[in-house]
Structure 1
Amino acid sequence: MLYPATLEQKLGFDKLRDWLRDACISPLGQYFVEKIRFSDNFGMVEKLVSQTAEMKKILEIGENFPSQNYIDATPYLKRAAIEGMLLTQAEFSDLKVSMHTIKLCISFFSNQEEGAFPLLAEYAKNVRVDKAITDAIERIIDDRGQIRDSASPELSRIRQKLISEQAGIRKKLDTMLRSAKSNGWVSDDVSLTIRNGRMVIPVAAEHKRKLKGFIHDESATGQTVFIEPTDVFESNNEIRELEYEERREINRILLELTSKLRPFVPDLQKAYQFLGLMDFLRAKAKLAQEMSAISPEFHNRQFVQWSEARHPLLHLSFQKQGKKVIPLNIELKEKERILIVSGPNAGGKSVSLKTVGLIQYMFQCGLLVPMREDSSMGFFQNIFIDIGDEQSLENDLSTYSSHLTNMRHFLTMANKRTLFLIDEFGTGTEPGLGGAIAEAILEDLTKSGAFGVINTHYTNLKVLADKTDGLVNGAMRFDGEHMEPLYQLEIGRPGSSFAFEIASKIGLPKAVVNRAKEKLGTQQVNFEKLLKELDIERRVFSEKNIELGIKERKLSKQLEDYNHLKTKLETNEKKIVNDAKQKAKTLIADANQMIENTIREIKENKAEKEKTKTVRQNLEKFGKTSLQPEVIPDQEKPEDIYEPEEGAIVAGSYVRITGQTAIGEVLNIKGKDAEIRIGDLKSTIKLNRLERVSNKTYKAATGEKKLKTSAKGVDLNERMMNFSFNLDMRGKRGEEALGMVDQFMDNAIMLGYDEIRIVHGKGDGILRTLVRNHLRGYSQVGGFQDEHPDRGGAGVTIVKIK
């Protein structure tokens, strides 16, 4: 069930219907466009969407599918079904080319692999265009839509005789024309022409009596008359008789051909219905291509789980202007069925609401929807909306009365299979009373089990959503610092209307704003102030988390370096001890040998005084030279280097975050923000939180220096041998994973790979989303998709590289 009757116009679906109507080639497809209806049959919706997805696939892969001659010949078939009626030559020409298109469509599907396009191929199997009738038309009608000379022996005879007679009369007239030119009756540039179906000679009016014959016409100025000479009267009469015979023979042939066509009319009517469906599906597929729409997973239960959904009409409009739509991420589930959206005016609440309604409606009409591949569609039997002003003088309805009338219908008809959308809930009357009535209505809608999205400014509804099961708050994000809407929906917290801040920005006197705050009361002001502060604090803590991530990454790196160094030192220590032991053994052996030699020489020389003294000196010299310890110079402890540098911060500058030790390089400047790189991590930091440092400081802190053209070359052979097209990052943290992706992508691009795999696991999908968002920043990435379900499915991303 749909409510109200103007739902299509309120959501903007009528504009999509107009787009489809214009995209159809023939009235056959346009007839299907007019028949588009919202379906509350799950199987029917699944079939319609799948048909469109199959046609979109056909257009995308560039198959040779017919794209012209989608001619509506159904009126001809209705006339042909009546006994005694005949179709004209032009109508048979249209039948010929359009039936050829139908046969091309059927042939296309019959030539595809089994299961390539199951729904459309099955439809095509039931369509029949009998070869007997196409051959019969082909024998009569040529490719220019004319009757062939060979259509019948009589027609061939008539046309041959007609050609002979026309050649004879032309010969006679050419002779007369040359004579007239030589006599000066006609100018030299005049040639034979036709008037009233008869060949005539243009003659100057002053010479018209010099040429005997019948005057058929004269020029607009009266200076030229067109004369049929008496010598060719009979020949022209003969030609006229032959033309009448030709016409009668053609009518007989067409009557006979129409009779042959008559038995095939029922099959052909089905065939033209198939042709109209193909035209219609081509239009839907083209619309899907324009919107980058997909066929997401479809489940027979009530929920909304959309990622990066885009308003279809905004997408089409912005695409022409070269702008991009800010996408919508929204989830409605059993415990959070009704979303209460709040935020400032002109912040995007109404657009978000219509996006939800239009996308759900168009999907259940069989159209593909613009969102990300990992989204899922639920199924609703009822869609109710309360958008815009429904006041009516005829029905004596005010704006608020019309809203209450809609609410009465919602409360009566809403159930668990209903999706409702309410814009500016409770407005149109005294705020206190309106808020109370809105709260009571919301409580009943919650009990009904229906799903919905409600836009409101009422604080009591935000409080109710915070403490009631089935309700959840949402906010349209707003930049409180620059007082600009961000058009992003954030689910889980209420939004502030920022009324006082906006009033101050546009120049409303400060005294007026202060008095307004006093009149509102401290409780409400404090509530709005708290919402604003929470939004600012969220952004501050988001920056703090980035800084903590940088510190944690640096600490992990230092711990890793420490452990590596410790292991290396322990290993070196063992090597040194072992070397020392080996040298000691050698020295001891040498010393023992020296002592033994000394003793032997003393004995041999019988303790001769001089010889004994020399031997002792040699022994002492050995002890001094071989056993003397090596002198190790003291190493000075390096001091930390920090040299600030004057000048503005620009791209390429080295900077330090104020109060931190982390030092990085500026990659880009965006207004008051700077994109910096600290190690493998990129982050955006306010310029006023950065201070410029020297190259020496950067090199001392990181050990890095700018690459020069004389840098050592890359060993591609070694990289290619060590590279794997499969990256497994399961269990990694976000910052670490992005660093791995960057290194992996650099190597893949350098080595010329056109497809790689990133294994991130399924889990909650956080790492998967982080990786895919990061990949979108690479211009070399042509696209990515889930792996085949048998090889990991959503736990693996296949990346296509241009």
Structure 2
Amino acid sequence: MIYPQNFETKIGFDEIRALLQQQCLSSLGKERVGQMTFLTDVKQIREKQEHTREFLRIMEEEDLFPDQYFFDVRDSVKRIRIEGTYLDEQELFDLKRSLETIAGIVSFLHKGEEEVCHEDEENGEVRETVYNGKYPALHRLAAEVMTFPHLARRIDEILDKYGKIKDQASPELARIRREIVVTESGISKSLQAILRNAKQDGLVEKDVAPTLRDGRLVIPVAPALKRKIKGIVHDESATGKTVFIEPAEVVEANNRVRELEAEERREIIRILQEFTALVRPYAREILDSYEFLAEMDFIRAKAHLAHQIGGITPQIAGKPLIDWTLAEHPLLKLSLAKQGRKVVPLDIELTSAKRILIISGPNAGGKSVCLKTVGLLQYMLQCGLPVPMGENSKTGIFTNVFIDIGDEQSIEDDLSTYSSHLLNMKNMMKFCGGTTLLLIDEFGGGTEPQIGGAIAEAVLRRFNQKKAFGVITTHYQNLKHFAEDHEGVVNGAMLYDRQHMQALFQLQIGNPGSSFAVEIARKIGIPDEVIQDASDIVGKEYINADKYLQDIVRDKKYWENKRQNIHRKEKQMEETIARYEAEIEELHRSRKEIIRQAKEQAEQLIRESNAKIESTIKSIREIQAEKEKTKDIRQDLNDFKNKLREFEKKQEEDRIERKMKQIMERQKRQAEKKKNKENGTDGQAARTQTGSTTRTTETAATRALMPGDYVRIKGQTTTGVLEEVNGKNAIVTFGVMRTNVKLDRLEAAQAPEKKETPAITYVSKQTQDAVYERKLQFKQDLDVRGMRGDEAIQAVTYFIDDAILVGMSRVRILHGTGSGILRTLIRQYLNATPGVKSFRDEHVQFGGAGITVVDLV
């Protein structure tokens, strides 16, 4: 139910209709816009909104949607249902093009249909069409629409591309038109001959040519010479200085042309009647197809309106609900856009717990605009139109919408302004309920404030008791207090900038607003003594209450800004943390890459070592194993192995250390930069203190480092002991790790605090080196194909022991398929080995049953 009758005019919906009709391509869509009504069926509203949403997607993604010919020929189709009537050429042309458009749209929306077969117990194999396209709602709309390709083909046989009857429309028409052409050609030749003779005799001017009068070819002649040419005078010019004579020689031929033209017209009518008889049985179905075309024109117009006003098709709950963000009045938005200005968006919420919103605030502060925005957007939503609001908005459905806004004085009905408001309140109280939306402007106004406020409060109490929803604007203090003291009713305020004395047009829910009457009066220029007298009349209590209210609004705005700043900084912090985590992930990835490269280098060194060993063995054989020589060669071999090991470790440590230092320095610079930016003036003191600390550190660092000093690598925090200094290099022990570092990369550090540490088992450096070398040489695949059973088991035993020793989690044993004996023996051994967690066949793609994958503890 919509109340009152002029509801659409009051909220501005008439202008929305006009905008929508401007987007229509034909009277089909315009008529559908005029039929648009307020809906309360949530399924129907969702379907209409889905139509618009899908057409918006078509506009964004498709280039070949057929929307070029939207012609309304329904009246012509209705007329031809009477026998003897027929469609004329233009109607036929419009029918053809619009039928092609309907067929094109239906074909477009049927893309994505697939025919599937399934078995049915009763009917056997059943074929069914399934739609898998992108526009299911529009597909449902077009599902039952008929197209008429045979009619379009027949029209093509009758009309040319310009909509004119073809010569080949029938054999008789072709004969008639050929004869007309021949006859007119003969008339033209005769006239040209007569005209040449007349020019030679000086009867007509030299530049005169035959002309057409009443469908007959004639010669223009001066009145004084008209008797010199035998023929019929058909007309004269407006000035009377020229007469038009049809020579006697061509009169008979022109008569024949007239007869042929009449025959031509009769043949054309016969052709049109014949085609109309073909169309007449389908008149009902064609009219239904045009209803579909009208609906598509309407949907297209809604989609274009959505682009024009920035509208969306929101999700709709099947209950009363308003939870809107960034809602905008579409008409105000378009009006301000022409002036280069933007509308202030509205955030508003009406739920079952806070159903009625009492909005207060200064005059011209946006209260009425807020109320009209709610009314217009809710009405547009339930008419199936797109609405301009945020994507995360939640909308609902109301069965009744009542509005009381403006002056409803009536001399005929003997109604004053206040009487009309009371009549509206009476109807609202009578019909309102839990699914009603009430929109009331200046509640209780129009009469003496004290009794008007009391009546308004009593009416508001009835609204609340009936669980109605509503947006109500007022200046009455008692209504603000009522909202504070009763559940279901909440205060809202239109914000006002006291510093610049101007409205902000922003709604804030939770606190009542001040009318700012004193401030506005002072801004306008009312004398101070008048303002003081007014303040004395209302009393200090009222003035103080209004002042406290303004202070509350100001403080709430301040803390809201604080909250937004904190939220923004938290978001920045989250982004910073995410960036650091990404850098740490990159560090881990780089570390893995460095280790991989180190392994490759180690393998290369091992190959060189094997070559060195082979060379050593060869040397031993050549000198026949002399004891002293053998001892020297072995010493050279050991020295070479030690150098390789030290080189490889140093390479890996240097790479990791450089990467760590780069990331630490970058993070340190970013942290200092952010800290200085946030501290503002404190940053100067921080820089001074940092400078002092840096100078102290530099002093300590420039002191010559001696063996036994505690040192650390610049930019890091781990403390080590300087063992010895060799020129520009130094050997430093960090815990149990001993490393070679450039001296200029070290700085003095304080001795670390001694902490009790649990006892640890000492592993010798020789053992560590042996394990490390074995890990470098270890291969994760063992090939035992071709071995005997005992040889294979012995090889697997050594292989598993080495894998557990070097910390491998998974290895593979290649035994082949064959008869399966070797596979069975190996798996029996694995099943009894404590360090084996599980084993299985490799994936078929990588070897299947010929390879056993072993997972180790």
Q: With the length of structure 1 as denominator, give the TM-score of the two structures.
A: 0.69
Structure 1 position 101, deviation (Å): 1.5
Q: Deviations over 1:91-120 (max 9, x none)?
A: 111211211221221122123572411121
- Return the alpha-carbon distance in structure 1 between the equivalents of residues 209 and 337 of structure 2: 58
2:387 alignment counterpart: 369
Question: Which aligned pairs between 1:366-405 and structure 2 lie closer than 5 A?
Answer: 366-405=384-423
Q: State the partner residue of 1:640.
A: none
Work out whether residues 511 and 553 of structure 2, in 8 Å CA contact, stay in contact via their aligned partners in 1. no
Q: Which residue in 2 is equivalent to 1:342?
A: 360
Question: What per-residue deviation string (whole Å, max 9, x for no partner) do you get for residues 118-143 of structure 1?
Answer: 12112222111222222222211111
Q: Is the 8 Å Cα contact of residues 309 and 329 (structure 1) preserved in structure 2?
A: yes
**Distance between the aligned counterparts of 2:214 and 2:300, measured in 1?**
48
Contact in 2 for aligned 1:344/1:496 (Cα 8 Å): yes
Indicate how the Cα distance of structure 1 residues 401 and 480 shifts in structure 2: closer, same or farther if over 3 A, else same: same
Measured in 1, the distance between the counterparts of 2:686 and 2:289 equals: 75
Q: Which amino acid aligns with 1:494?
A: P
1:549 to 1:235, Cα distance in 2 relative to 1, 3 A: closer
| Partner in structure 2 of residue 728 of structure 1 | none
The aligned residue for residue 318 of structure 2 is 300
Q: 1:43 is matched with which residue? A: 43
Contact 2:99/2:148 (<8 A) preserved: no
- Tell me the secondary structure at the aligned position of residue 82 of structure 1: coil
The question of 1:54 aligning with 2:54 is answered yes
Structure 1 residues 548, 175: CA separation in 2 closer, same or farther (over 3 Å shift)? closer
1:270 counterpart residue number: 288
Measured after TM superposition, the shift of residue 554 of structure 1 is 13
Counterparts of 1:548 and 1:273 in 2: how far apart (Å)?
56
Confirm or deny that 1:29 pairs with 2:29: yes
CA distance in 1, matches of 2:533, 2:15: 46
Superposed, 1:11-26 pairs within 5 Å as 11-26=11-26
User: What residue in structure 2 maps to residue 104 of structure 1?
Assistant: 104
Contact 2:103 2:148 in 1 (8 A): no
**Does the 8 Å contact 1:550/1:681 carry over to 2?**
no
Equivalent of residue 315 in structure 1, options 309, 328, 333? 333
| Partner of residue 541 from structure 2, selected from 509, 512, 523 | 523
For 1:416, which of 434, 439, 453 is the aligned residue? 434
Cα 1:552–1:295 change in 2 (3 A) is closer
In structure 1, stretches of 5+ residues that fail to align are 558-663, 666-676, 683-689, 704-802
Which of residues 242, 246, 258 in structure 1 aligns to 2:276? 258
Q: 2 CA distance for matches of 1:702 and 1:200?
A: 111
Mapping of 1:81-480 within 5 angstroms? 81-111=81-111, 114-480=132-498
Which stretch shifts more, 374-383 or 14-23?
Answer: 14-23
CA contact (8 A) 2:2 2:400 kept: yes
Structure 2-normalised TM-score? 0.64
Matches within 5 A, 1:366-765: 366-541=384-559
Q: Which amino acid aligns with 1:401?
A: S
User: Is 1:2 the equivalent of 2:2?
Assistant: yes
Whichever residue aligns with residue 144 of structure 1, its letter is Y
In 2, Cα distance between equivalents of 1:142 and 1:540: 74
SS at match of 2:57: helix
Alpha-carbon distance in structure 1 between the residues aligned to 2:690 and 2:464: 58
Taking the aligned partners of 2:100 and 2:87, their CA distance within structure 1 comes to: 18
Q: Offset of 1:17 from its aligned partner?
A: 1.1
Q: Mean alpha-carbon deviation: is it higher for 507-516 or for 196-205?
A: 196-205
Matched to 2:13, the amino acid is: F
Q: Distance in 1 between matches of 2:569 and 2:146?
A: 72
**CA, structure 1 residues 252+126, in 2 after alignment: closer, same or farther (shift >3 Å)?**
same
Q: Residues 233 and 337 (structure 1 numbering): CA distance in 2 closer, same or farther, change over 3 Å?
A: same
Question: 2:94 and 2:569 mapped to 1: Cα distance?
Answer: 75
Check conservation: 1:288, 1:369, Cα contact below 8 A.
Answer: yes
> How far did 1:238 drift?
1.3
Please name the residue that 1:687 is paired with. Answer: none
CA distance in 2, matches of 1:547, 1:216: 93
Distance 1:259 1:447, change over 3 A: same
Runs of at least 4 residues off by over 4 Å: 539-557, 677-682, 695-703
One-letter code aligned to 1:127: V
Retained in 2: the 8 A contact 1:215–1:225?
yes
Secondary structure of 2:385 counterpart: coil
SS at match of 1:298: coil
Which stretch of structure 1 is more off in the superposition, 62-71 or 73-82?
A: 62-71
Deviations 1:480-537 (A, max 9, x none): 1111000000011110000001101111000100110110012211110101122333
User: 1:29 and 1:441 mapped to 2: Cα distance?
Assistant: 43
Structure-1 separation of matches of 2:243 and 2:87: 40
Is residue 332–residue 451 contact of structure 1 (8 Å, CA) maintained in 2? yes
Post-superposition CA distance 1:538-588 (Å, at most 9, x none): 34455667898999999999xxxxxxxxxxxxxxxxxxxxxxxxxxxxxxx
- On the 8 A contact 1:20/1:284 being kept in 2, the answer is yes
Cα distance per residue 1:332-353 (max 9 Å; x no partner): 1111111110000000000000
Alpha-carbon distance, 1:271 to partner:
0.8
Unaligned runs of 5+ in 2: 114-131, 576-671, 692-857
- Once the 2 structures are TM-superposed, how far is the Cα of residue 381 of structure 1 from its aligned partner? 0.6
C-alpha root-mean-square deviation of aligned residues, in Å? 2.9
Q: Give per-residue Cα distances to partners, 1:718-755, cap 9 Å, x unaligned.
A: xxxxxxxxxxxxxxxxxxxxxxxxxxxxxxxxxxxxxx
Quick one: which amino acid aligns to residue 108 of structure 2? Answer: F
Is 1:550–1:678's contact at 8 Å kept on the other side of the alignment?
no
Note the alpha carbon deviations across 1:430-468, whole angstroms, 9 max, x for none: 111111111111111111111111101011111111121
Q: Residues 216-247 of structure 1, C-alpha deviation per residue, up to 9 Å, x if partnerless?
A: 11111111211111111111111111111111
1:428 partner letter? G
| Deviation per residue, 1:62-119 (Å, 9 max, x gap) | 4322333211101111111111212212211121121122122112212357241112
Q: Distance in 2 between matches of 1:548 and 1:92?
A: 70
Using the alignment, how far apart are the partners of 2:311 and 2:418 within structure 1?
Answer: 37
Q: 1:541 to 1:134 in 2, by over 3 A?
A: closer
- The aligned counterpart of 1:576 is none
Task: Report how many residues are paired.
Answer: 580
SS in 2 for 1:228: strand
Q: How far apart, CA to CA, are the structure 1 residues paired with 2:420 and 2:371?
A: 19
Distance 1:555 1:241 in 2: 94
- The 3-state SS of whatever aligns with 1:126 is coil
Structure showing greater Rg: 2
User: Separation in 2 of the partners of 1:318 and 1:681?
Assistant: 38
Instruction: Provide the secondary structure at the position in 2 that maps to 1:302.
Output: coil
Secondary structure class of the residue paired with 2:142: helix
- Aligned-partner residue type, residue 321 of structure 1: Q
- Output the CA distance in 1 between the equivalents of 2:329 and 2:384: 17
The CA distance in 2 between the partners of 1:468 and 1:165, in whole Å, is 97
